Amino acid sequence: MEFLASFFDQYGMLLLDGTVDTLVMTVLSTLFAYVIGVPVGVLLVVTSPNGLRPHKALNTVLGWIVNIGRSIPFIILLVAIIPFTRLVVGTSLGVPGAIVPLVVTAAPFVARMVEQSLEEVDGGLVEAAQSFGASTWQIVSKVYLRESLPSLIRGVSITFVTLFGYSAMAGTVGAGGLGDIAIRYGYQRYQTDVMIAAVILCVVLVQVFQTAGDVLARKIDKRR
Amino acid sequence: MIEIKDLNKVFEGRGGSHHALRDVNLTIEDGDIFGIIGQSGAGKSTLVRCINLLERPTSGSIVIDGKDITDYQGRDLLDLRAGIGMIFQHFSLFQQRTVLQNVMFPLELRKEPKAKREARARELLEAVGMAGYEERYPSELSGGQQQRVAIARALANDPKIMLCDEATSALDTRTTVAILNLLKEINEKLGVTMVVITHSLAVAQKICNRVAVIDYGEVVEEGRTVEVFANPQSSVTRELIEHDTLSAVVDVKKEAE
Ligand SMILES: Nc1ncnc2c1ncn2[C@@H]1O[C@H](COP(=O)(O)OP(=O)(O)OP(=O)(O)O)[C@@H](O)[C@H]1O
Ligand SMILES: [Mg+2]
């Protein structure tokens, strides 16, 4: 008990700061990844050969961009886009410096997940909506997005957890966060206790968010 | 009145082209319950989907109440579709919406005020015998109940025409009869013209005043239901009748077991 008390006295603030940094990085990059990924995913579905507005060129080019984005390993992307990161947020360091590469790597991933969720929507429902005179935009918003909402929410928790893991790697650009703490203290200073505490925090946070996502998705899903 | 003139539909696919409809000419009068029968793959769905332009005809024209709608685009197209109700074999209700929200959907598209569309939806649910189910989800309903809701939804915009693609094919006999009675009632009370696809002659006999038989995309026979069935002119129709009696016999046997 005493050990724990003195441990938290010494490292409590550090771990709290790390948790906040990790959450800020993960939440914001998930958010921005969706701001970009949802429209791209919708476009991929709408412009596909069997989509509402087939457009071969646009669909192919978008597909390429998404695939290229997904094929670059994060750790390389992190360094490779430093000039771009500086351009966008003014620095390549710290939490803002980490969010840019996190968004760049997650947005194509999100686009594909959104595409997949929307493709799962029964074509019969799209046709029913068309038969009532729904416009393309109405079908996207009132049928595709609405009917796939449980699946989209599951995607959000997957993205969140993935970015949570990636944000640890972003520690290498001095982004801070729990991953950074685990590496600095555990690997570089051999303070195993701090490393273990950071890792436990990661595990708990991931469990909490994954479970929350699952519960929410199940709760709003009205299918059998 | 729906006039279908020299309608052709050719699907261009990877494996070549497929002539799904050939020189179809049909006139469907106001107030008709018009049956379209034929074997699987004959082109029934394609024909009916041309009426609300879910399918674009390759050539020919569709004239509704004197207006040639064949080339409608944009707003005109959406308004045309809104004025034609449609129901489907597998009901196609929105799974994430309540019964009430499903029925309000077509009104939501037309941006009707909330209070108005809710009142209208409740009235329609009452009319199809689904009052009390407003807050349920489709997954909590039987097939027959789902089709009733789908019918209410199809009626939301006060259509003058309703298209029914195998609307009772997924239902058992008793439920089929109940749904057919409902469709007939709607036809009589509201004067809605119905185009009913079915491969069951029993269904056609029960509610259709006229039928067309199509085979390989061609209309092989057309006329008043009683006449077509009493005195079939084409071998296809005779075959369908034979088949139907056959399946009736099989049904009776099954029930006896
Ligand atoms: N989008 C499409 N692309 C290519 N071929 C199609 C397409 N839609 C239908 N067809 C073909 O057109 C023909 C007629 O199809 P349709 O769906 O109209 O038949 P149907 O009479 O409704 O059959 P069923 O009783 O099985 O529903 C079939 O041979 C079908 O394979
Ligand atoms: Mg069909």
And the tokens for A98?
């980490």
Nearest CB partner across the interface for A131, out of B86, B96, B137: B86
Mutate to test the pocket of ligand 1, among B9, B11, B56, B203 (most ligand atoms within 8 A of CB): B11
Q: At what angle do helices A56-71 and A94-119 cross, to 10 degrees?
A: 130
Across chain B, what does the average pLDDT equal? 93
Q: What percent of chain B has pLDDT over 90?
A: 84
Across chain A, what does the average pLDDT equal? 92
Which residues lie with the beta carbon below 6 Å from any ligand 1 atom? B 11, 13, 18, 20, 38, 40-46, 199
Strands B59-64 and B67-68: antiparallel
DSSP letter at B19 equals E
Total domains in chain B come to 1
pLDDT tens-digit map of B110-161: 999 999 999 999 999 999 999 999 999 999 999 999 999 999 999 999 999 9
Gap from CA of B139 to ligand 2 centroid (Å):
24
At residue B243 the predicted structure's pLDDT band, cuts being 50, 70 and 90, is confident
A222 to B108: CB separation less than 8 angstroms, yes or no: no
Q: Is the pLDDT of residue B44 over 70?
A: yes
Minimum CA distance residue for ligand 1 atom 26: B40
Nearest CB partner across the interface for A133, out of B82, B92, B94: B82
Chain A residue with Cα closest to B95: A223
Among B230, B233, B237, smallest CA distance to B214 is for B237
For the CA atoms of B242, B248, B253, B254, the dihedral, rounded to the nearest 10 degrees, stands at: 130
Nearest CB partner across the interface for B94, out of A127, A130, A147: A147
Superfamily assignment of A2-220 in CATH?
MetI-like (1.10.3720.10)
Burial class for B142, CB neighbours closer than 10 Å (0-12, 13-18, 19+):
exposed
* Integer angstrom CA distances of residue B75 from B153, B163, B200: 21, 21, 37
Among A114, A177, A122, smallest CA distance to A147 is for A122
| Rg (alpha carbons) of chain B, rounded to whole number | 19
Please indicate whether residue B226 or residue B241 has the higher confidence score (pLDDT).
B226
Q: B181: domain CATH number? A: 3.40.50.300
Residue B117 lies in a domain: no
B81 to A130: CB separation less than 8 angstroms, yes or no: yes
**Rounded Cα–Cα distance for residues A48 and A27 (Å):** 31
And the tokens for B148?
């009733």
The SS3 assignment for B168 reads coil
Q: Maximum distance among all alpha carbons in chain B?
A: 56
Whether B73 and chain A come into contact, CB under 8 Å, resolves to: no
Residue B161 pairs in a beta bridge with: B84, B193
Whether A123 and chain B come into contact, CB under 8 Å, resolves to: no
Nearest CB partner across the interface for A222, out of B79, B106, B139: B139
Q: Poorest-confidence range of A111-125, A179-193, B98-112, B238-252?
A: B238-252
Q: Is the pLDDT of residue B172 over 70?
A: yes
A146 to B94: CB separation less than 8 angstroms, yes or no: yes
pLDDT tens-digit map of A57-84: 999 999 999 999 999 998 888 889 999 9
The residue ranges of every structural domain in chain A are 2-220
Q: Is the pLDDT of residue B255 over 80?
A: no
Q: What percent of chain A has pLDDT over 70?
A: 99
Q: Is the pLDDT of residue B103 over 90?
A: yes
At B68 the pLDDT is 97
A130 to B88: CB separation less than 8 angstroms, yes or no: no
And the tokens for A155?
């995607």
Mean pLDDT of the region A87-98: 88
Q: Poorest-confidence range of A23-32, B166-175, B241-250?
A: B241-250
Mean pLDDT of the region A105-132: 97
Mutate to test the pocket of ligand 1, among B7, B19, B45, B236 (most ligand atoms within 8 A of CB): B45
Whether A61 and chain B come into contact, CB under 8 Å, resolves to: no
- Give the domain range for residue B10: 2-83+159-256
* Integer angstrom CA distances of residue B182 from A53, A196, B187: 37, 68, 9
At residue B252 the predicted structure's pLDDT band, cuts being 50, 70 and 90, is low
Give every strand in the sheet of B67-68, ordered side by side.
B16-28, B2-13, B59-64, B67-68
**Rounded Cα–Cα distance for residues A92 and A101 (Å):** 9
pLDDT tens-digit map of A134-178: 999 999 999 999 999 999 999 999 999 999 989 888 876 677 888
B139 to A223: CB separation less than 8 angstroms, yes or no: yes
Q: Is the pLDDT of residue A107 over 80?
A: yes
**Rounded Cα–Cα distance for residues A114 and A33 (Å):** 11
At residue A189 the predicted structure's pLDDT band, cuts being 50, 70 and 90, is confident
